[in-house]
Structure 1
C-alpha cells in the first residue's frame, strides 16, 4: 500500500474526528447494525499514534478456530484481507498490515504465549484477541480465565499496543449447551478496567444479525452456507474497522 507524509496522515485522522457520523461503505446492507456494536467505548491511543507518526498500522489477531475466528482457513485468509482493506479505506494513505496467529481448540492459557510471541515478533500497534469459547466449553474456571486475559492485556499495553477483546460467536446450539456468560462478562470487565482496551461484542452482534434475518449461518440452506459464512466474515471485518476508526477518532480529539 502507498505510504504518505505524517502531515497528510494527521490531517486524515483529524478529518475522521470531525466526521463522527460518517460510516465506512458496507460490503452488504445485511452488515447494518446498531451503533452500539461499532462505537468504541474509549480511545485507541497507540493505534492513533502509529497512524499519525508513522503512517503504518500493524494489527495482530490471535484466536482459536481458523483465525481464524471460526470457519475454514480460506475464510480466515479472506477475513484478514477484508480487514486490511476496510482499514485502508478508513485511514487513506496508511500502510496496513494484519497478521493472524492461533489454532483450533486453544484455551486462553494456550493463547497467552502466542500473544506474547506475536507482540515480540510483529510489534503490533493493535492486538485483537478472540478467546473464551474453548474455556467455556471445557468449564475452565472463569476467574482463572480472566486472570490469563488480564496478563496478556497488560503485556500488550506495556509494548505498547492497544487491545480489542472479542468474545465468542453466537450459536443457538452452543447457547443451549454452554454457559458463556461468565467469560463474556470477564472480557467486558477487563476492557472497562484498562484504558486503550475495548470489548467487541461479537456474540451479541451475531445474535442481532440472526434474529433480524440479515445473516444466519446456522439456518441457511446447505447450498447457501458458504455464502453466508463469507458474508459473516466480511461483516465482522467491517464492524471491527468501524470500531477501530471510532477509537482512533476519540484518541485524536
Structure 2
C-alpha cells in the first residue's frame, strides 16, 4: 500500500476521534522563512506526539542536545550536492527558541543504511546522551534494494533502543525527487517508515510527502537544465524543510508542557 494511504488513514482516525479540532489549535506556528513557496496544506506536518525530554531541557535552561543521524541528505555539505536542511536547522530553531542553547552533533554518513544507523545508535549515541535524535533514513536502502523487512526491523530496533535510553525521537522520511523516482523506488521504504511511526506512536516528519507535494505542484523548479539554478532551487527547498522541521520540534515540546 502507498505511504499516502497510511498518512490518510492516520489523519482519518484522528478526525474520527475528534483530534482534528484540537489540531487546529495545536498546529505549528507559521513558517518564518521569507519564501512563500514554503507553504504546505494544513495538517501535512501536524504531529500529536509530545517531546517531553526536549520540553524538560528547555524548561531547565540547560543546553538542548540534539543528534542528527542520516545519510548524504543530512550532511551539512557534500561535494556536488546542495546544502542540506541541516544547515538551516540551527537558525530555524534559534528563531523559535531564542533563549535556548543548542548543541548539535551530526553522525550522518553518506551511504548509511538503516541497519548501519541502528549500529551507530548502539555504539555512539549513548555517550552523547541526546535529548532529541533526528533520524533520517530510507534513500540509501532504496538505492541498494535492501530487503524491506530488514529495513523495517532495523528502524524498529533503533527506535526502541533510543526510547529505552530516554531520548525523544523524530523520524525523518526519505526525500522525494522526481528524477530519482524514475530510477529508484523509494515509496515502499517511506511506507514502512510511516507504518512504524503510526504503530509505535512516533513523531514523523513526512519529508517524502512534502517534497512530492511541492514537485507535483511545481513549486520549485526541478526541471531546469541550468545546474546553478538546480542548486539554488534545491537549497531553497531544503531551507523550507528546515523551517517546517523546527516548527514541528517546538510544537511537540509544547505538547509536553503542562
Could you state the TM-score of these two structures normalised by the residue count of structure 1? 0.82
Contact 1:209 1:216 (8 Å CA) reproduced: no
| Local SS of the residue matching 2:182 | helix
Contact 2:50 2:252 (8 Å CA) reproduced: yes
Tell me the equivalent position of 1:14.
none
Gaps of at least 5 residues in structure 1 are 1-17
Provide Cα deviations, 1:153-210, integer angstroms capped at 9, x if missing partner: 1111112111111121111233233332321122112222334x21111111111122
Gaps of at least 5 residues in structure 2 are 1-24
The reply to whether residue 162 of structure 1 matches residue 135 of structure 2 is no
Tell me the equivalent position of 1:141.
147
Structure 1 position 126, deviation (Å): 0.9
Q: Please give the alpha-carbon distance, in whole angstroms, between the structure 1 residues aligned to 2:142 and 2:87.
A: 29
The reply to whether residue 227 of structure 1 matches residue 239 of structure 2 is no
Provide Cα deviations, 1:7-50, integer angstroms capped at 9, x if missing partner: xxxxxxxxxxx885642422421111123232213211221121
Provide Cα deviations, 1:94-141, integer angstroms capped at 9, x if missing partner: 111222112222211122222334422322111111111121222211
The reply to whether residue 171 of structure 1 matches residue 177 of structure 2 is yes
Could you state the TM-score of these two structures normalised by the residue count of structure 2? 0.80
Tell me the equivalent position of 1:187.
193
Contact 2:176 2:209 (8 Å CA) reproduced: yes
The partner residue of 2:159 within 146, 153, 161 is 153
Tell me the equivalent position of 1:216.
221
Q: Please give the alpha-carbon distance, in whole angstroms, between the structure 2 residues aligned to 1:65 and 1:53.
A: 34
Tell me the equivalent position of 1:3.
none
Name which of structure 1's ranges 48-57 and 243-252 shifts more when overlaid on structure 2. Answer: 48-57
- Correspondences of 1:1-253 after superposition (within 5 Å): 22-65=29-72, 67-68=74-75, 72=79, 75-76=82-83, 79-195=85-201, 197-219=202-224, 221-253=226-258
Q: Please give the alpha-carbon distance, in whole angstroms, between the structure 2 residues aligned to 1:45 and 1:93.
A: 18
Q: Please give the alpha-carbon distance, in whole angstroms, between the structure 1 residues aligned to 2:230 and 2:109.
A: 22
Name which of structure 1's ranges 22-31 and 241-250 shifts more when overlaid on structure 2. Answer: 22-31
| Local SS of the residue matching 1:120 | helix
Q: Please give the alpha-carbon distance, in whole angstroms, between the structure 2 residues aligned to 1:75 and 1:175.
A: 18
Structure 1 position 55, deviation (Å): 3.7
Provide Cα deviations, 1:226-249, integer angstroms capped at 9, x if missing partner: 211221221111010111112112
Contact 1:63 1:69 (8 Å CA) reproduced: no
Q: Please give the alpha-carbon distance, in whole angstroms, between the structure 1 residues aligned to 2:164 and 2:94.
A: 26
Kindly tell me the number of residue pairs found equivalent between the two proteins: 234
Structure 1 pair 204/49, CA: closer, same or farther in 2 (3 Å)? same
Tell me the equivalent position of 2:14.
none
